[in-house]
Structure formats: C-alpha cells, structure tokens
Amino acid sequence: MIPVTGNLIHTLSRYGVNTKILASQDSIFTAYQKGLNSCNANDTDIIIFCHDDIKILSSKQNFIAALAKCVDPTTGIVGPAGTTLLGKDAVWWDQQRWKSGHHRGAVKHTSDTDVNHTHYGPFGQVVALDGLFLAARKEVWDKVNLEKPEYFSGKWDFYDIHYTIKSHLLGYKNYAVPVDMIHYSNGELVGRDSWHKNREAFIKNTTLPMEVQNG
C-alpha cells in the first residue's frame, strides 16, 4: 500500500467512514458496483467513491458538514469540483467555460516542486463533477446504476461524467462542496485512447450541451 493510500484510509477511519479497498479490478465500473453491493448499506447511507491518490485536508467537522448536503432528498452526487455547463465536447474542465464562470469548487494538485491550489469557482450546483471524489446516498447510486453502459468500450474512463449526468437527468441536483483535498495527479489519463473513445461514445448518446437551469 502506498503511503498516500494509507493516509487516506487512516483519515477516513478517524472520521467514522467504513472503508473498502477495491484492488485488482479490471474495470472501475465493475469495481464500484461490487463495492456498492458489498457494503450492506441502507438507502439513506452516504457512499463515497474516490481515488486512492488523494489526501483529505478538511477537519472532521468540515468534512461531515460538506457531505451533509447528501442528506437532502433532492441532492444527487456531490464532489469537490465540477461545472454548471457541460458543452458539446463533454469536457467538464474546458478552459473557455472556466473563464466564463461556469466552473465550481476547488482542488489542490501537486507538481514536481509544489502544491498548486486550483480554484474553479464558488461552490454550488453543477451538472457534472470530477471523479476523484464522489459521494451520494445509496439510493441515488442504485438509480444511477454503476454498471458500464454498453456504448463504452473503455473500462476506466468517463465514468464520472456518465454517473453525474445520469444523476442530473434523473432530476437530482449535483453539487460541488467544500471538501478540501490534495490530488496527487495531473490528469494524464486524457491522453489514453480509451478516454477519447468513451468521450466520443458519450457525446453520441447524450443530448449536449447540458446546463444547470436554477442554480
């Protein structure tokens, strides 16, 4: 186990979160569905799916306060960063829409020499969220359905956009909430062919653009 993962598990455990490590899986979709099925949770329990290369910086009080947004029955999925407008390219972090004020939330990222604070915008309602940390009630995840859609050929990519847009289309409100964290990654996965193939398939099967209408 790498030190970052051990630190994450230790922090979540101290905050009262029961944790499961989904290792040696052949698909993130399958792993998340297995994790959901095995956690023996009630419909209203909050289930978190997150990368193992993050460090939670929020205090326990602030962490719980941020996730308390999930208790609202109108809330779908919450996470630290997302956008109010998913354009026809289906890239949530598009720079032009960021400049136009559509992005929400904040995440710290590491470089070779420093930690960079990426402030996307004020916290609030979004249509899509980044997948490094996603939380929702079990009943929401059940309705979203974590299985890989047939039109995706890649097993590891674009799950976050698929899940959060599905939540939005089901009538839930997704939110970027203040969970302070460092992500030890710079998003190199966008260079994978499977990311581009899943993105193209998502675009073909989804009516875009999609925007928050009341948030």
- Give every residue of the chain whose pLDDT is below 50, as ranges: 1
Residue 135: the pLDDT is: 98
Q: What is the dihedral of CA 166, 170, 173, 179, to 10 degrees?
A: -40
Residue 189: the pLDDT is: 54
Number of domains in the chain: 1
Question: 3-class DSSP state for residue 107?
Answer: strand
Residue 4: the pLDDT is: 84
Q: Is 8 left (phi over 0), alpha (psi -120 to 50) or beta?
A: alpha
- Residue 56: closest CA among 36, 32, 80, 39: 80
CATH code: domain of residue 40: 3.90.550.10
55 near 8, Cβ under 8 Å?
Answer: yes
Residue 91: domain span: 3-211
Question: 3-class DSSP state for residue 201?
Answer: helix
d(CA 208, CA 86): 7
63 near 16, Cβ under 8 Å?
Answer: no
pTM listed for this prediction: 0.94
- Residue 142: closest CA among 33, 61, 2: 33
User: Looking at the DSSP assignment, which residues form a beta bridge with residue 129?
Assistant: 82
Cα four-point dihedral sign 48, 53, 62, 179:
negative
Residue 114: the pLDDT is: 79
Helix (H) or strand (E) holding 174: strand 173-176
